[in-house]
Structure 1
């Protein structure tokens, strides 16, 4: 017999609920049941269910999991997934549900989905997210959803006409997000948006208001509102045909939406102003971002004027804003209705103004600057190339008061080295006599173009600068070269 055969190999230590790895420490299975259930709550529901095969003790621990996410991440055939949902809900105990997420292609199984939602509400659900696809026509949520006292967050994303019950009472709902929903009934829709007494955050994403002409959103505790309008695409031509020859743009198509919210602090809008928005008593607004998209080049003049009119309506409601960001065509659309510019509100509290496409030659932009007497920082994500640099001495006439007293920082992004951009920088440096700093950031593909950077440096040396204390910073791909006004004779490149 070989010697090796006489050597007994140590038995592998069995890991179970009774013994730890070294025989002294308690193993994972001996943790208190409350703690085990808490740990399982962080697992995806499919993985939590799999733990039932570990031992008798683990068999039903998952049944009290408070987080049930049945979404796209669950791999498998559709019917198997639906059966899995029903089995989980059937075997689950009666403990409360914290978060319930459904993300399914409904097809012909709307009644099953409704029963699942009802089961979640009966378990005092707090966060309910319903994402439904492949749905046409009308869809009714269980009535119990609209009277659920434990619900704090509700997300509805469904391309359908939503039927709303007449009785609505969201006593604890703080976050509401609605996407792709079409509202068709005046009374119930108004009931929904008038019964949000404790709502703090509201998202209206690509919703359609059907035949509704007037809507009031009343939420006394609302502090954040986000609205994105559906992209109409080719429907712009039909939309233009529906506009009358009347100069009163209020009679055009769309819904007039009035927002009552004395505590709103943040507002974000993106779309083409197919509807009209007005703020009432929005004295607390601090931050606003308006992103005016344009899906078609076939806009008629009446449509452009309509957008300008509705844009100005929104700006009037933002008179107390401190941080204003205008993206894409937001400032440009106002030029289509120059007669409206004298009615531009005074932004007495505005400290920060950001523009994605800044056209220094724009009368609308100049009017906004003139009506922002306390502006401290002005940022151009990119300066528009339509600047007429042969007439730069006329552009800031009359001079915006903030250029003389409060405007301390100007930032120009995506600098490309064009003459039009350089002229814009020149006019800004010349007229902003209170300026402390100007930051110019080159486009990424110009970061290594040292010839262009040196050319800009030499041009800046000869520019008349209104502020004697102005510091110019050129950002060159992870590097910063700081040029002080008194140091222009030295080259830092």
Structure 2
């Protein structure tokens, strides 16, 4: 605020004809409102509010700031954390800010603390009155709290909440304008999630990350374009029960196991779960309902591929149910594990028009060994013959025979390949052997003579 005040004072002093100093109109204050509010939006909210003492021109200007970032407020005044005794003072400041507010609010970011009990009902009521469109809420406390009144803010277009309890009120109907929803480490049941998504008819982007108590995903969203979900599993296995999203273009799936469950993930539990859940049928049913997908990204903990049933996948999806619109595929896998290679081949054969393939190699101690000459026995997927143009594979180990055989399988069958880019983990002991393998790959016969092969080890680079 001092800088703005100094600019206003300095700009009002101009030289007279004989060197005298005259005071003219404040040129800073004569700037258009949009420019001034843009300047004020770059400083903490409380500092912007203090500019109201500069002049009549500035008195209510700060109330038109389109973006309210209260994270900056706490960082500026309480860098060491929020003292308990200032809770009431903070509430008073927030009440004054919203009482004086006149213009609409485009976006607001607010941290909520245990020792600063906001009147959340009033807060969400005022936000809805002021036409809030983009809201970020983050909770910093021991036990998550519920936000029932939040789900009556019908002006919201984008909502992101972190570390809260989500229990929809019985009167919940719809968030008719919501287009993007992010639930990060929230506690929500499958039933409440299904009701929430179904009550957002314009929802286009849905992100769910490490949500507690979520065991099933049932989605009904007519306008959903992106589904990004990361699940950390415990003894309750997560399942995709239903996805009805006719416009869905991109799915990002991430799976992991919490440390305790990973430690106790024994062979006996594996066999028991295999009898209860047919992972193969679950995967096939999911993909058959998503034949309109254009992008699929799959990140998965290797421990989840311990089920032998995953290797009983068919060659591909049925002809009438293949992913004919799929253009981009990303997957993490271990090339030395047959249980992870099998889903990759299944997806490649089920995406006949795939154009871009991105893979990341992950090593794991568990897995099923790959049979000798495995890749020589495989029939090349249709996408390799006519559509796959770009391949990128990261963190490969050139010492792995299975990796090298897979790369040769791609090179000898990808007829329209334009570029293959490889990033490998550099060894400190076998550098000479790595150079031999690199040269072998660079000289290897390719089905596409114009294909560019790039091999990059850390800071070193090879290409042909």
Q: State how far apart, in whole Å, the 2-side matches of 1:436 and 1:27 are.
A: 58
Pick the aligned partner of 1:263 from 224, 232, 247: 247
Aligned equivalent of 1:222: 224
Aligned pair 1:353/2:346, yes or no? no
| Cα distance change of structure 1 residues 339 and 141 upon mapping to structure 2, 3 Å threshold | same
Q: State how far apart, in whole Å, the 2-side matches of 1:128 and 1:375 are.
A: 37
Aligned equivalent of 2:180: 175
Structure 1 stretches of 4+ moved >6 Å: 383-390
Q: State how far apart, in whole Å, the 2-side matches of 1:37 and 1:257 are.
A: 48
Q: Please tell me whether the aligned partners of residues 164 and 189 of structure 1 are also in contact (alpha carbons under 8 angstroms).
A: no
Structure 1 gaps, min length 5: 1-12, 240-252, 275-293, 484-493
Q: State how far apart, in whole Å, the 1-side matches of 2:331 and 2:310 are.
A: 20
| Cα distance change of structure 1 residues 21 and 336 upon mapping to structure 2, 3 Å threshold | farther
Q: Please tell me whether the aligned partners of residues 409 and 436 of structure 1 are also in contact (alpha carbons under 8 angstroms).
A: yes
Q: Please tell me whether the aligned partners of residues 416 and 448 of structure 2 are also in contact (alpha carbons under 8 angstroms).
A: yes
Aligned equivalent of 2:198: 194
Q: Please tell me whether the aligned partners of residues 330 and 357 of structure 2 are also in contact (alpha carbons under 8 angstroms).
A: yes
Deviation of residue 48 (structure 1)? Answer: 0.7
**TM-score, L = length of structure 2:** 0.74
Q: Greater shift after overlay, 166-175 or 294-303?
A: 294-303
| Cα distance change of structure 1 residues 109 and 309 upon mapping to structure 2, 3 Å threshold | farther
Q: Decide which structure has greater helix share.
A: 2
Q: Please tell me whether the aligned partners of residues 351 and 376 of structure 1 are also in contact (alpha carbons under 8 angstroms).
A: yes
Q: Please tell me whether the aligned partners of residues 20 and 27 of structure 1 are also in contact (alpha carbons under 8 angstroms).
A: no
**TM-score, L = length of structure 1:** 0.70
Q: State how far apart, in whole Å, the 2-side matches of 1:403 and 1:43 are.
A: 54
Aligned pair 1:366/2:339, yes or no? no
Aligned pair 1:298/2:228, yes or no? no
CA-atom RMSD in angstroms: 4.2
Deviation of residue 298 (structure 1)? Answer: 0.6
Q: Please tell me whether the aligned partners of residues 179 and 202 of structure 2 are also in contact (alpha carbons under 8 angstroms).
A: yes
Deviation of residue 136 (structure 1)? Answer: 3.0
Give deviations 1:394-451, integer Å, cap 9, x for gaps.
Answer: 64433333344444444443344304233333343344455454433333667x9873
Aligned equivalent of 2:93: 87
Q: State how far apart, in whole Å, the 2-side matches of 1:377 and 1:116 are.
A: 47
Radius of gyration: which is bigger? Answer: 1
Aligned equivalent of 1:40: 40
Aligned equivalent of 1:61: 61
Q: Greater shift after overlay, 46-55 or 468-477?
A: 468-477
| Cα distance change of structure 1 residues 328 and 396 upon mapping to structure 2, 3 Å threshold | farther
Give deviations 1:209-247, integer Å, cap 9, x for gaps.
Answer: 57x87x753332222222222x34xx43xx4xxxxxxxx
Aligned equivalent of 1:70: 70
Q: Please tell me whether the aligned partners of residues 135 and 159 of structure 1 are also in contact (alpha carbons under 8 angstroms).
A: no
Q: Please tell me whether the aligned partners of residues 206 and 226 of structure 2 are also in contact (alpha carbons under 8 angstroms).
A: yes
Deviation of residue 102 (structure 1)? Answer: 1.9
Give deviations 1:280-330, integer Å, cap 9, x for gaps.
Answer: xxxxxxxxxxxxxx9556152244665555444433333343333333448
Aligned pair 1:336/2:317, yes or no? no
Q: How does 1:410-425 map to 2 (within 5 A)?
A: 410-420=391-401, 421-425=403-407
| Cα distance change of structure 1 residues 365 and 255 upon mapping to structure 2, 3 Å threshold | closer
Q: State how far apart, in whole Å, the 2-side matches of 1:81 and 1:168 are.
A: 33
Q: Please tell me whether the aligned partners of residues 145 and 164 of structure 2 are also in contact (alpha carbons under 8 angstroms).
A: no
SS in 2 for 1:159: coil
Q: Greater shift after overlay, 404-413 or 382-391?
A: 382-391
| Cα distance change of structure 1 residues 451 and 73 upon mapping to structure 2, 3 Å threshold | same
